[in-house]
Structure 1
Amino acid sequence: MADSKGAAPASVSWRKFAFLNLTPAQYFVRLIPAIVYGLYTYSTRGPFQPPSCTSFGLSCPMTTNHISGVLERPEYYGQVLGYYTDLIAQSEDLGGSLAVFVDGMAVIDVYTGFKDLARTQVYDNTTLQQVYSSGKAVEGIIIARLVDQGRLDYEAKIVEYWPEFGQNGKEEVRLRDLMVHEAGVPALDDEDKLDALSWASMGDEEKFSERLARQPHVFGGKPTRAYHAITRGWFLNEIVKRTDPKGRTIGQIAQQDLMTDYEDLELYYSKLPKESDWEDRLSPMHDYPLLRLLGRLVLPQVIQNSRIFGNPRTLPLHRIVKRSFDSKSLTARTLTPKFAPWPRLLRTPEAHVYEGTSFSLKSNAHSLARLMSMMANKGGSTRPGEPNLLSTETYTQATTLHGTSLDEVTGEIVPLSVGGWAKTRSFYGEGPLKGVEVQGWSGAEGSLILWIEELGIGFSYVTNAFGASETLLGDYRGKTLLDRVVYARKSELGLLPKKKAPEEQAEAGAGAEEK
């Protein structure tokens, strides 16, 4: 009895710890249900939530979304706002602003969501956001205004304004070439390992200017399309400082001219008005989860778009994502330079001390859509008492199609105007946008800054949720929003194809049967 009683507890104890003797394969088999559940919740929940929520459904924020601002003509534009709030509710977006001006008047001008993943800090009308390359749209407007004033000429060689630029194959480069990313300087070389390019080294403006001037033409002087993602603003500023009567930069002109001529604009390329604004007003940017990005690199698109394990609305990742992994490629040198190999390094305070107008603009959707609405009006003012943004002559010249060619950095063909904006009639899908000419630019995080002249639309979508790189011009969020805006505008103007009444459809069907 004693032996049997003594053996029983030992047997129970052994069963309790039997998992310690499992093989790795047996461990994996037992973990499959948990892995499948984790993958399912991770892939179907929006990416912009706390990791514990996306993976296990734990600690998910329970706050109610808010939205404030202006919505006019809701019978047309209400569905746009509905989709926008859905993006926030499904955590495909986190916080931001959306503004749509039609014929100079705001029909949508709203702020929604939160600044943080825990959803405790409201994103409101005082919030500013870095918009990365969307700032190039405003950069192009300021250059066009200098052309309008006779201080610059798109066809002039850059050496006419900046003689030191004319070396190492750049002697014949025109201002137009720089605007359309064909100046041959998409990236900067590290000339000396002891003096590697850094934000600190850019603080010596004279030395940095000399370094820019020395940069060799990547293509031996031949105009070749290669996206100047970061560098275009630096080179443009050297030209602008030499031609503006006050020696101002693009950012200073934006603040002193645009923000003075047009009320309620906020355009900051360098420092913010107050040092505290960096924390109080500027929303942090939340990066797309790396694990999810890696999954999208290896999983077939059909799985990514499935309703069970993905999102039907997402687009394939852009080819630049894979190209960026080759550190020696021109794509990697351009988009992930040594001084800023990750996008988050372009949004540190140090990165904004020296003005980088191709990536550093901090603004909001209202300000940007206001400017786009004037561009949709061919540069004309949209409010009584305000001056024109551009003359009709300069607007026509700047928006003339420069041409289409394959970009050596992005591997994509995007039609560009002389002023450096995208200008295309094949922007997104087969829906309402098909055949509609869209002009403007976008940011790496997903922001879109565009105008549509034929419909009188100025559009801006600004976000603090850094989306996956799906196309060179935005991702599915901004593109779908614009598609819905165009649908609303066409509906408002009676430009949508009319659906046949049921009796007409029946008659048409009967006629077909008789034939």
Structure 2
Amino acid sequence: MTVEIGVNRRAVPFRDDPDAGHRLFGAADSHFACVVRFFSSMFPARRTGGGALTVYLDGQPVVDVWKGWADRRGEVPWSADSAPMVFSATKGMAATVIHRLADRGLIDYDTPVAEYWPEFAANGKEKLTVRDVMRHHAGLSGLRGATLDDLMDHVVMEERLAAAAPGRLLGKSAYHALTFGWLMSGLARAVTGKSMRTLFREELAEPLDTDGFHLGRPPAGSPTRAARSSCRRMSPPTRY
């Protein structure tokens, strides 16, 4: 049995109801009531942010709920069209783009990255394979000296990683928390000539027929509204 919670998806109030963030909206199968209650408890107050939760079982949606606020001040209620930043989940999406290219024979996992991206051969990386990089074995989990301006430029970061020397964990598992995305985008750009943002759209969003999946801010005219991060300031990656 599905239980409707709050109001219809497209009727969710936005700025006209400042208290909407206190309430839970959406629908859920009654068997998942505990899941919904736990989700709701994550956003108890105006400045604790907001979020959405969707669960599919055997291809069918059994939970589709949202609650909280989409801004730091707790003035804009979360809506069905609010889009949060997903941070590290982007790694899986970037890897999926590479897998899609591999499916078409454009990339082979056991081929050295430098065969596709010649600049990557610098500083002894000429034998590192696509598989090594995707398994976080590239020895490039850190990159010293990057500025915040560098981080805003994908091409600059790709070039810096291509020129970098691998660290002491080369060949060993070391989570590339901050560099994996640029490594994937550099490889994909070398193979296709396209940015990862374009490939996200062409390889993932369009085939899935979704308008709520973007790398970067949603484009003008998109029904998706970007939620503001509750994190006021990120530490520069050189501190990690």
1:19-63 deviations in Å (ceiling 9; x for gaps): xxxxxxxxxxxxxxxxxxxxxxxxxxxxxxxxxxxxxxxxxx987
How far off is 1:231 after superposition? Answer: 1.1
Change in CA separation of 1:275 and 1:225 when aligned onto 2, cut-off 3 Å: farther
Once residues 119 and 250 of structure 1 are traced to their aligned partners in structure 2, the CA distance between those partners, rounded to angstroms, is 33
Change in CA separation of 1:64 and 1:152 when aligned onto 2, cut-off 3 Å: closer
Change in CA separation of 1:115 and 1:271 when aligned onto 2, cut-off 3 Å: closer
1:165-224 deviations in Å (ceiling 9; x for gaps): 11212122111111121101112233xxxxx6442586493x65443221001128x402
Amino acid at match of 2:91: K
Counterpart in 2 of 1:284?
228
Q: What is the DSSP-based 3-state SS (H/G/I as helix, E as strand, rest coil) of the residue aligned with 1:268?
A: coil
Counterpart among 104, 108, 122 of residue 149 in structure 1: 104
Query: Retained in 1: the 8 A contact 2:116–2:190?
Result: yes
Change in CA separation of 1:82 and 1:210 when aligned onto 2, cut-off 3 Å: closer
Alignment TM-score, normalising by the size of structure 2: 0.79
Once residues 159 and 21 of structure 2 are traced to their aligned partners in structure 1, the CA distance between those partners, rounded to angstroms, is 53
Amino acid at match of 2:40: T
Q: Is residue 251 of structure 1 aligned with residue 197 of structure 2?
A: yes
Query: Retained in 2: the 8 A contact 1:258–1:265?
Result: no
Counterpart in 1 of 2:166?
217
Alignment TM-score, normalising by the size of structure 1: 0.39
Once residues 162 and 73 of structure 2 are traced to their aligned partners in structure 1, the CA distance between those partners, rounded to angstroms, is 46
Change in CA separation of 1:117 and 1:154 when aligned onto 2, cut-off 3 Å: same
Q: Is residue 337 of structure 1 aligned with residue 221 of structure 2?
A: no
Counterpart in 2 of 1:189?
144
Q: Is residue 127 of structure 1 aligned with residue 71 of structure 2?
A: no
Counterpart in 2 of 1:239?
187
How far off is 1:84 after superposition? Answer: 1.3
Once residues 72 and 157 of structure 2 are traced to their aligned partners in structure 1, the CA distance between those partners, rounded to angstroms, is 38
Query: Retained in 2: the 8 A contact 1:180–1:225?
Result: yes
Tell me which protein shows more helix as a share of its residues: 1
Change in CA separation of 1:79 and 1:127 when aligned onto 2, cut-off 3 Å: same
Q: What is the DSSP-based 3-state SS (H/G/I as helix, E as strand, rest coil) of the residue aligned with 2:185?
A: helix
Once residues 21 and 67 of structure 2 are traced to their aligned partners in structure 1, the CA distance between those partners, rounded to angstroms, is 11
Counterpart in 1 of 2:23?
66
Runs of 4+ deviating beyond 3 Å: 61-64, 90-93, 116-119, 200-205, 207-210
Instruction: Name structure 1 gaps, 5 residues minimum.
Output: 1-60, 191-195, 289-334, 342-408, 410-515
1:300-341 deviations in Å (ceiling 9; x for gaps): xxxxxxxxxxxxxxxxxxxxxxxxxxxxxxxxxxx8524xx5
Once residues 169 and 254 of structure 1 are traced to their aligned partners in structure 2, the CA distance between those partners, rounded to angstroms, is 30
Counterpart in 2 of 1:227?
175
Where do 1:406-417 residues align within 5 Å?
none
Amino acid at match of 1:243: V
How far off is 1:133 after superposition? Answer: 0.8
Counterpart in 1 of 2:7?
none
Once residues 124 and 204 of structure 1 are traced to their aligned partners in structure 2, the CA distance between those partners, rounded to angstroms, is 31
Once residues 22 and 226 of structure 2 are traced to their aligned partners in structure 1, the CA distance between those partners, rounded to angstroms, is 20
1:236-268 deviations in Å (ceiling 9; x for gaps): 111111212xx2122211112322211234222
Query: Retained in 1: the 8 A contact 2:113–2:129?
Result: yes
Rg larger in structure: 1
Amino acid at match of 1:257: E
Once residues 181 and 204 of structure 1 are traced to their aligned partners in structure 2, the CA distance between those partners, rounded to angstroms, is 19
Once residues 170 and 264 of structure 1 are traced to their aligned partners in structure 2, the CA distance between those partners, rounded to angstroms, is 38
Amino acid at match of 1:121: V
Q: What is the DSSP-based 3-state SS (H/G/I as helix, E as strand, rest coil) of the residue aligned with 1:136?
A: helix
Change in CA separation of 1:149 and 1:204 when aligned onto 2, cut-off 3 Å: closer
Once residues 174 and 287 of structure 1 are traced to their aligned partners in structure 2, the CA distance between those partners, rounded to angstroms, is 36
Once residues 143 and 213 of structure 2 are traced to their aligned partners in structure 1, the CA distance between those partners, rounded to angstroms, is 27
Counterpart among 74, 96, 108 of residue 51 in structure 2: 96
Once residues 228 and 210 of structure 1 are traced to their aligned partners in structure 2, the CA distance between those partners, rounded to angstroms, is 17
Counterpart in 2 of 1:264?
210
Instruction: Name structure 2 gaps, 5 residues minimum.
Output: 1-17
1:118-153 deviations in Å (ceiling 9; x for gaps): 533110012111111111121122111111111112
Where do 1:391-410 residues align within 5 Å?
none
Q: What is the DSSP-based 3-state SS (H/G/I as helix, E as strand, rest coil) of the residue aligned with 2:140?
A: coil
Query: Retained in 2: the 8 A contact 1:70–1:106?
Result: no
Q: Is residue 199 of structure 1 aligned with residue 149 of structure 2?
A: yes
